[in-house]
Homo-oligomer: A and B are copies of this chain.
Amino acid sequence: MSPAQRHPTMADVAERASVSPSTVSRTLRGLPTVSPDVRARVEQAARELNFAISRQAASLVTGKTGVVAVLVTTLNSWFMGSALSSLGPLLRAAGMELNVYVTPDIAERTSFFERLPARRNADALLVFGFDLTDEETARLDDLAMPVIYVSQHAEGRPSVYVDDVAGALNATRHLLNLGHRRIAFAPTVGASGFCFSSRERLLGYQQALAEADIPIDDELVVTMALGDKRDLITGVGKLLSLREPPTALFAEQDELAVAVIHTLRQARIQVPERMSVIGFDDHQVADWFDLSTVAQSPSDMGRVAGELALQLIDDSEADRTRHIILPTHLIPRATTAPPPGPQSELEARRTPS
C-alpha cells in the first residue's frame, strides 16, 4: 500500500524549481525576501513533489523542536480531555506539535523524571495537576525550557489555575444562604492527582463556615473514592448516622456529586428536599442531572496555558513568575434548596430564642 520511497528533500524541490535550497527554505518559511515569481515556482514544485519539511533537520540547526510537551497522570478525565482538546488546535495554529507524556503510576513517573525525555524534544513543558516533590520540581527547573504548571500553584514559576478557594467559598456560601448550617464536604480520593485543587476547595469550604461563625466539624468531611460504590455508601452512611446529620453536601467534583445523589436516592433520601447537593466543575453530567455546581472551564485553562507557553517560548524576556488565576462562577440548578422545614425539633432546640 505504502511504498517506502524516500521523502523528497528541499534539494529536490530546489532542483525542480531551478533555484537553490536556501531559496526553497526561505520561501517555505514565508520570509519576505523572495520575489513573487520565484515563490510561486517553489510553492508549485513543493506541492507537486508532495514535499513535507523535516522538523528534525530544521530543529538541528535552529535549536527549536516545534513541540510542546504535556505531562499528565491520565487523559481519562473530563478535565484533561477538555483542556487538551482546546490546547491541541491552539498549538497547531501556531505550527507546533503536541507531545503527551502519560504517567499513570509511580514507575512511569519515576522513569519520566529520571530520563526527562522531554529535555531535548520540546520547547516547553506543561505540567498538569501534579503534586510534585521538591526534587521533581528541581529537576524541572533545570530543564532549560519554559515549564508551565497547570491546575496548580507553583511558587515563583509560571502557573495557571482556577480560583478553587473562591469557588468553594461561593458554593458553601450558597448553601449557607439557603439556610443550611450542617454542611458536609466530600473530597475525592483517587489517582487523578489534582491534590492541589482538593486542598484549596477544602480551604474555601472552611472559610465560608468561618464567615458564618459555624465551627468546623471534622466529622462532616468525608473522603469518598469515586467509582467505588461500597466506599460511597459507607461515606454517605457515616454522614447519615451522625448525631446531627448534614442537610447539605458540597462534593469536590460533579462526578462525585452525581454519584452521591444516586446513592442518596437509592436510600430514599430526596435531593434536594431532604439533602441539598452541590458539585464543582460544571461537568457535562451536571447539566444532564440539573446539578447545582461551581463552573470552571478546563478548555479556557488549556487555551490560556498554551498561549502562555507560546509566549514564553517566543520571548525569553517574558515574566517567568506569572500566575494566571481563572475565575469560577456558581451555577444554581435543581439539587440545592432550603433545608427541610418546618424546623426540625432538633434545630428548634438548638436555637431557643
Contacts and interface: CB of A to CB of B under 8 A. Distances in A.
Interface string A102-120: 1110001001100111011
A120 B54 contact: yes
A60 interface: yes
B100 A84 contact: yes
A55 B120 contact: yes
A97 B120 contact: no
A235 interface: no
Given A100-B98, A157-B1, A262-B289, A75 B84 contact: yes
Contact of A76 (B60, B85, B142): B85
Contacts of A89: 102-104, 108
Contacts of A81: 74-77, 80-81
A3 B144 CA distance: 6
Contact of A144 (B4, B115, B227, B229): B4
A52 interface: yes
B52 A120 contact: yes
B100 A88 contact: yes
A262 B89 CA distance: 34
12 contacts: A54-B60, A55-B121, A56-B120, A67-B99, A75-B80, A76-B84, A81-B81, A89-B104, A92-B101, A92-B111, A97-B99, A227-B284
A67 B117 CA distance: 12
A337 to B, nearest CB: 16
A34 to B, nearest CB: 20
A119 B76 CA distance: 28
Contacts of A240: none
Total copies of the chain: 2
Contacts of A55: 56, 120-121
A105 to B, nearest CB: 8
B60 A56 contact: yes
A175 interface: no
Interface hub of A98, A287, A320 (most chain B Cβ within 10 A): A98
A287 B259 CA distance: 10
Size range of the chain A interface in the assembly: 35 or more
A319 to B, nearest CB: 11
Contacts of A276: none
A52 B115 contact: yes
Contacts of A52: 115-117, 119-120
A55 B98 CA distance: 16
Contacts of A157: 1
Closest 7 pairs (CB-CB, A-B)? A88-B102, A76-B81, A52-B119, A56-B56, A56-B59, A76-B85, A75-B84
B144 A288 contact: no
Contacts of A284: 227, 255
B288 A258 contact: yes
Interface in A319-344: 320
A36 interface: no
A285 B287 contact: no
